[in-house]
Amino acid sequence: MDDATALEELPVEQLIEMIREKTGAGVNLSFPGKVLARQLGRRVRPRNQRTVKSLSAGDEHGRSRNLLIEGDNLQALASLYRERGQIDMILTDPPYNTGGDFRYNDKWDKDPNDPDMGEFVGSDDPAKHTKWMKFMYPRLQMMRAMLKPSGVLAICIDSRELFHLGQMLDELFGEENRLAIINWQKTAAPRSDKGGVTATTEYVLVYARNIVRAKTASLERTDADNRRYGNPDSDPGGLWREGNLTARTWSKSGDYAIQSPFTGEYHYPAGEGAWRHPKRNIKEWLNQWGSPYVERALDDGKVKALVLKDGFSSDTATRAEERLAQPRWPFIWFGRDGQGRPRTKTYLEQIKKGKVPVTYWADDDLGLPVELGSTSWDFEESGRSSDGASELTSIVGKGHGFTTVKPLKLMMKLLQLWVPTDGTVLDPFAGSGTTGHAVLALNSLSGGDRRFILVEQGRPERGDSYARALTADRLKRVIEGTWANGEGSSLDGGFTFKVLEKKVDAQTLLLMERDEMIDTVIASHSSTGSRRAAVLIPVVDEDNEPYSYLVAKNAANEGIFLVWSGAGSNTDLTEDVYEAITEEAERAELADVYHVYSRRNLLVTDDVIWYQIPDRILSDFGLDVRTESFTEEG
C-alpha cells in the first residue's frame, strides 16, 4: 500500500487535518510512509488481557489499580480504551535508535495486526530514521489520545532522534503546548568522543495536551501567596499554614479514628478520604501532645483507631493545653484553641525548596505550585544513568543486562511536578520498571495514591521477556522489600500482571472460555456514560466454595456477574440465574445492585444493570458495534 492509496482510506477529520497542515503557516513534517503511519493507531485491534496471578504482587488495593502488561505497546494502547482521555501523565523512555533497540515490520504498513514482530533496525540501516519515525508516530498519536485535557507527556530521548521527536510532537501536540525541554546530566565523568565534544546530557521533552488546562510547576509564588502563612507558635521552621491531613483518595489502612487529647472526641478522615500520612508517623506526632497513644479497635467497622492509651481525662486535656502554650506545636495540631479537627503544618520554606513532594499537588487551597526553575538539571538534581543501573542491581542483583537505566531520582522529580497525588501514570516503554518504582516510592513518601500502567514486551523470541524476568521482578521486590542487597524497605502497593493475547472481535468473544471472558470483562468494564469507570476488584471466595457468577466488585461494593461457562453453554439471564446471583451477592456482603453480563436477558427487574455479550464488550473496547456485530447462523 502506497501513500496515495492510504489517503483514500483516511477518515474525513484526518484529511481535513492534513490539508490544514499543508496549507497553514509554519514548518510541516514529511517523511516516507507518514500517511500510512497516521492510520496504524486507528487500524490496530485491541486484545484480550489474561491475568497471570503468579506474576502479580502486593495488596488487593494495589492489584486493583496498577497494571503491568506484557505485549506490544501499540496493541496495549488500543486495548486500554477505558483509560483513553483519563491519564494524568505519560512518562516514558522509548528506544533511542542506537541500533538493535527496536523492531520494524514492513507488513505493518498493510496490517498493523500482523503477528510478526519484525527485524531489529541496525545502526547501519540507511532507512533507520524513517523506520524509527514510522514506528513512533502512531504510538505518539495514541499517547496523546490517552491524556486528559490537563494531561502531560514527558518523553526521554538523546541527541540521535531529538530533532525528529521534537518535530513529531510539535505537529501532534502543537508547538504552543510545549512545556519544557529538560536537559539533564546523565554522567558526571566526561569521556573522550571522536568528535571532540563529550555528550554528558540527555533530554526530556515535555508537552501538555492543553497548556491552558495543564497544572505545571512553572509558576512563581506571589507575595499574596506568601501572606497566607504565619507563625503563631514561634516555630523555628519559619512561616507555615494549615495543611489538610485527609487525602482525597480512600484507602482501608488510612480510614480510622483519631482521638483528640483536648476533648476526647474521635475524628475520622473528611469526606470519602483517608489520612495521608503513615500511621506510625501520625502516632509519633500525637504522642508529642503529652500522652501516649495506642492502636485499639473501636468496633466501628474500620481498622484500629489511634486512641489515648489510658483513656481521655482532665489530665490528658491539661497536658495538651500546657503543650499548646509552648513554642513549636507538633506537626499534627487541633486548631489554635485545641477544639478542632486534626490538621497538619505546611511550611513555606519547604514549598519554596520543593522538599515536600505532596505540596506540589496538594489540595487546591495550598496555593500555587512551586517554581520549576531551570530546565537544565545537573546530576545532583536528577541522578545519573549509572545511578539507575546501580539501583537496579541493588534490587534484582547482577546479570540484568542494563548498563543505562533512568535514575529513580529523575523519574520521581518529573512525577512530583506533573502528577496529582491521586493521578494515573502510563509508561508504554516500561523497560526495567523505573516509572512504576517511582510511583510506589512517591506514594510512600507523600501519602498519595497515584496509580501506574506499564507496558513492556522485551525480546520474547530470545526467552528474556523483560516484563516477566525484570520489570515484574523489580516491582515485586520493592513492594515486598526483598532487595537483592538486603537493604531495601517494603513499599505499600501492588500490581496485576496481564498478557495480551487474542484480538478482540465478536466471534473471538463468543468462542472464549470462562476464564478468558472474566479477564476480558474486568479489562473492559465501564458502568457509566463515560469510558472511565472505577477499577474492578476481582472477587475470590474465602470459603473455597467457588462462585458460579460473581467475578468482581466495583468501588461502590456492587457485584459484577458473568453468565458464561464457555461456547455452547447456557448464557441467558433467567429467573433461576437471578436468584443465584442475589444469593452470591448476599454471601459476599455486596450491595443489592447487580451488574450482569450475559448473551440474552430473559428477565426484567430494576436492580439489574445488564450488559449484552458481545456487543457491550466491543463497545467498551471502543469498537463500532455496527461493523463488529456477529450473526449466528443456523
Domains observed in the chain: 3-218+372-500 (3.40.50.150), 223-366 (no CATH), 505-628 (no CATH)
- The whole-chain average pLDDT of the chain stands at 82
Please report which confidence band the pLDDT of residue 349 belongs to, taking 50, 70 and 90 as the band edges: confident
Secondary structure (3-state) at 538: strand
Q: How confident is the model at residue 367 (pLDDT cuts 50, 70, 90)?
A: very low
* Nearest Cα to Cα of residue 21 among 30, 8, 11: 30
Please give the average per-residue pLDDT across 518-538, as a whole number. Answer: 73
Indicate the range of 69-78, 209-218, 314-323, 597-606 predicted with least confidence: 209-218
pLDDT tens track for 587-624 = 999 999 999 999 999 998 999 999 999 999 998 888 87
In the prediction, which pLDDT does 398 show? Answer: 80
What per-residue confidence (pLDDT) applies to 621?
86
DSSP string, 180-234: EEEEEE--SS----TTS----EEEEEEEESSTTT---S-PPPPHHHHTT-B-TT-
- What is the per-residue pLDDT across 59-70, written as a single tens digit (0 to 9) for each? 888 898 999 999
Low-confidence winner among 106-115, 180-189, 449-458, 530-539 (lowest mean pLDDT)? 530-539
pLDDT at 222 exceeding the cut of 60: no
Kind of pairing between the strands at 424-427 and 87-92: parallel
Tell me the CB-side half-sphere exposure of residue 80, using CA atoms within 13 A.
32
pLDDT at 121: 79
446: confidence class by pLDDT, cuts 50, 70, 90: confident
Return the CA Rg of the chain.
27
Residues 143-152: tens digit of each pLDDT: 999 999 999 9
Measured over all CA atoms, what is the biggest interatomic distance in the chain, rounded to whole angstroms? Answer: 86
The candidate with the shortest Cα–Cα distance to 359, out of 182, 491, 229, is 229
CB 328 within 8 A of CB 234: yes
Task: Give phi and psi for 116, each to the nearest 5.
Answer: -65, 125
Q: Is the pLDDT of residue 295 over 60?
A: yes
Please give the backbone phi and psi of residue 495, each rounded to the nearest 5 degrees, phi first.
-160, 155
Would the pLDDT of 79 be above 70? yes
Whether the predicted pLDDT of 357 surpasses 50: no
- Sequence-distant (≥ 6) Cβ neighbours of residue 97 within 8 angstroms: 121, 128, 129, 132, 160, 161
What is the per-residue pLDDT for 171?
92
C-alpha distances in Å from residue 68, one per residue of 61, 73, 568 = 15, 11, 33
CA distances from 237 to 46, 241, 350, 360 (A): 54, 12, 9, 19
Q: Tell me how far CA of residue 510 lies from CA of 223, 298, 503, in angstroms.
A: 64, 50, 12
Q: What whole-number distance in Å separates Cα of residue 407 and Cα of residue 386?
A: 8
Please tell me the pTM assigned to this model: 0.68
CB proximity list for 213: less than 8 A, separation 6 or greater = 149, 150
Write out the DSSP string of 134-149: HHHHHHHHHHHHHEEE
**CA–CA distance from 317 to each of 84, 232, 295, 305, 329 (Å)?**
53, 21, 19, 19, 15
Single-letter residue type at 339: Q
In this model, does residue 368 exceed pLDDT 70?
no
Distance CA 150, CA 212 (A): 8
Q: Which three cell numbers mark 286?
A: 500525637
Burial of 460 (0-12, 13-18, 19+ CB in 10 A): middle
**Residue 454 near residue 67, CB atoms below 8 Å:** yes
Q: Is the pLDDT of residue 17 over 80?
A: no
Tens of pLDDT along 155-198?
A: 999 888 899 999 999 999 999 999 888 887 776 555 555 555 55
Instruction: Give the Cα separation of 197 and 190 in Å (integer).
Output: 9
pLDDT bin (cut points 50, 70, 90) of residue 361 is: very low
Pairing of strands 451-456, 424-427: parallel
Local confidence band at 452 (pLDDT 50, 70, 90 cut-offs): very high
Q: How confident is the model at residue 366 (pLDDT cuts 50, 70, 90)?
A: very low
pLDDT of 400: 66
Specify the pairing of strand 201-208 against strand 147-157.
antiparallel
User: Is the pLDDT assigned to residue 57 strictly greater than 70?
Assistant: yes
Question: What per-residue confidence (pLDDT) applies to 481?
Answer: 87
Burial label for 356, CB within 10 Å (0-12, 13-18, 19+), is: middle
> H or E segment at 109?
none
Residue 634 clears pLDDT 50, i.e. is over it: no
Predicted local distance difference test score (pLDDT) of residue 220: 43
Give pLDDT tens digits for 470-521. Answer: 899 899 989 998 888 888 788 889 999 999 988 888 888 999 999 999 999 9
Are the C-beta atoms of residues 240 and 227 closer than 8 Å to each other? no
The three cell numbers of residue 350 are 519547604
Q: Which residues contact 437 (CB under 8 A, 6 or more apart)?
A: 395, 408, 411, 474, 475, 478
The whole-angstrom separation of Cα 391 and Cα 82 is: 34
Average pLDDT over residues 273-288: 94
Distance between CA atoms of residues 499 and 508, nearest Å: 17
Closest CA to 207 of 188, 182, 228, 186: 182
**Above 70 in pLDDT, residue 380?**
no
The rounded distance, in Å, linking the Cα atoms of 177 and 251 is: 35
